[in-house]
Structure 1
Amino acid sequence: MGSAVGKLLGLLLCLQCLIELHGVFIRFTNVTCESKDLSSSIVEYCAVTNLSKNKNSIRLRYTMLKPMLRNVEVYFQLLTRGSESINTVSNWQPFLYTLKLDLCRFWKNHHNHLARMVFEFIEGHTNLNHSCPYTKENYISIEDVTNTEVSGKIRGVPMPKGFYALFTKLSTENISRVQTNFYFEVLSP
């Protein structure tokens, strides 16, 4: 009985090693949050928290001082940074995708594959997961999204080792309200 359990544990360990070797594993390095319109929102908190040696998470919350009614747009831009450059905005270069998304339309029919993938990263961790209007929200939050969860969801996505950033802006009525930038490192392709 003991050797069967040992073999099973060994097999599971080997499978985990294969997954880590053939999948993408990321580590969050930073998150920045900025309210672009202090009359509509303020940053309550914004942080990366280390949970263990290989696991960290992101938490952020914007307090909304005015409701977001309609014409809610989210802008996403995925960037990469050269290995020789330092962490400055000018050293970030577009990687693959730039997307401007009508959030109200997206929640009606999930029409954009890339946007679906991005929102799957925060599924179950945010209150931005329903159709417009956003009239009862006192805040926008993303709570406890871990690097291990995101790593599991992007397996098979071709991303070489290196440093990346996902820059996001949320606007209503064509006015930028909040900007959140997520920084991460791909440790294994």
Structure 2
Amino acid sequence: MSGVRVKEHEQLRVMDSWNFNAIQCNKVKSVPPCPVTVPLSAYKALVVEEDKAVHLVIRFTQLLCNSTHPMTVYEKCHIERGHDITTITIRQKLLQPIYRVQLSKSLNRIWYTFNNVDACAFVLRRRNPVLRLLFANFQKFSNINHSCPFTDYLIVDRFAISDIQVARLPILAGEYALLTAWQLNGVDAAYTNVFVIYS
């Protein structure tokens, strides 16, 4: 955690806790007097200590890209590791226009799989909630901002996952894998596998 972040909902939760303790304290008329106000410095101290105790980070550990058909080739497929962040970059060259894209995916440890998703239709309507969540996170790092046809390149540039956004989800610490297989124009053409650790 960099700096001190005091979120409104955390302040309210801390205040609720203090108020509850104050009510219970008043009932038993304890000495010394019960707390009734919480200074901002106390908010910050409590939030910081809580955040240190529960804040987890997510990091990419491995990235595998493989082309299984000559219509496409991966020019880049790597992880960049910084001091406190990891990013992935994928540059996939398309050697012919792509009019149909079918996607099969699995998320291990979450036990979620889906097969033959029409990726072209999804970009237009975004009805699959899991895909919608994944797409919303990486869209701003990618040139995949329209439906089919796709030409020239598909690019994901220095994509990083937000620890704060992941912390809002009911995900346990551990290792995860996102395994994808791609059909382009009806032909099995590529797969991309992403491995992360959340700890």
Counterpart of 2:80 in structure 1 is 49
Which has more radius of gyration?
A: 2
CA contact (8 A) 2:76 2:92 kept: yes
Q: Report deviation, 1:154.
A: 2.3
Scaled by the length of structure 2, the TM-score of the pair is: 0.71
Q: Report deviation, 1:143.
A: 0.6
Q: 1:157 aligns with which of 143, 164, 169?
A: 169
Q: Which amino acid aligns with 1:45?
A: K
* Distance in 1 of aligned mates of 2:49 and 2:60: 21
| 2:144 aligned with 1:132 | no
Q: Give 4+ residue runs of structure 1 displaced > 3 Å after superposition.
A: 7-24
* Distance in 2 of aligned mates of 1:133 and 1:45: 22
* Cα displacement string for residues 149-189 of structure 1 (whole angstroms, at most 9, x for unaligned residues): 2x2332332222211110012212331212110000010xx
Q: Which amino acid aligns with 2:64?
A: T
Shift of the 59–10 alpha-carbon distance from structure 1 to 2, 3 Å rule, reads: farther
Counterpart of 1:85 in structure 2 is none
SS of alignment partner, residue 123 of structure 1: helix
* Distance in 2 of aligned mates of 1:181 and 1:10: 45
Q: Report deviation, 1:140.
A: 1.1
* Distance in 2 of aligned mates of 1:46 and 1:74: 19
Counterpart of 1:104 in structure 2 is 120
Matches within 5 A, 1:38-77: 39-52=70-83, 54-69=84-99, 71-77=100-106
* Larger strand proportion of the pair: 1
Q: Report deviation, 1:49.
A: 0.6
Matches within 5 A, 1:79-98: 79-80=108-109, 95-98=110-113
| 2:129 aligned with 1:113 | yes
Which consecutive unaligned segments of at least 5 residues does structure 1 have? 1-6, 81-94
* Larger helix proportion of the pair: 2
CA contact (8 A) 1:169 1:180 kept: yes
Moved more, 153-162 or 98-107: 153-162
CA contact (8 A) 2:98 2:185 kept: no
CA contact (8 A) 1:24 1:157 kept: no
SS of alignment partner, residue 104 of structure 1: helix
Percent identity, please. Answer: 24
* Cα displacement string for residues 55-107 of structure 1 (whole angstroms, at most 9, x for unaligned residues): 111111111111101x3111221114xxxxxxxxxxxxxx3211232112112
Q: Greater relative contact order (Cα 8 A, min sep 6): structure 1 or 2? A: 1
What's the C-alpha RMSD, in Å, of the aligned pairs?
Answer: 2.4
Shift of the 97–73 alpha-carbon distance from structure 1 to 2, 3 Å rule, reads: same
Which consecutive unaligned segments of at least 5 residues does structure 2 have? 1-38
Q: Report deviation, 1:138.
A: 0.8
Scaled by the length of structure 1, the TM-score of the pair is: 0.74
SS of alignment partner, residue 141 of structure 1: strand
* Distance in 1 of aligned mates of 2:85 and 2:91: 21
Q: 2:157 aligns with which of 143, 153, 173?
A: 143
| 2:139 aligned with 1:123 | yes
Shift of the 51–66 alpha-carbon distance from structure 1 to 2, 3 Å rule, reads: same
Counterpart of 2:9 in structure 1 is none
* Distance in 2 of aligned mates of 1:29 and 1:160: 17
CA contact (8 A) 2:62 2:79 kept: yes
Aligned length: 160
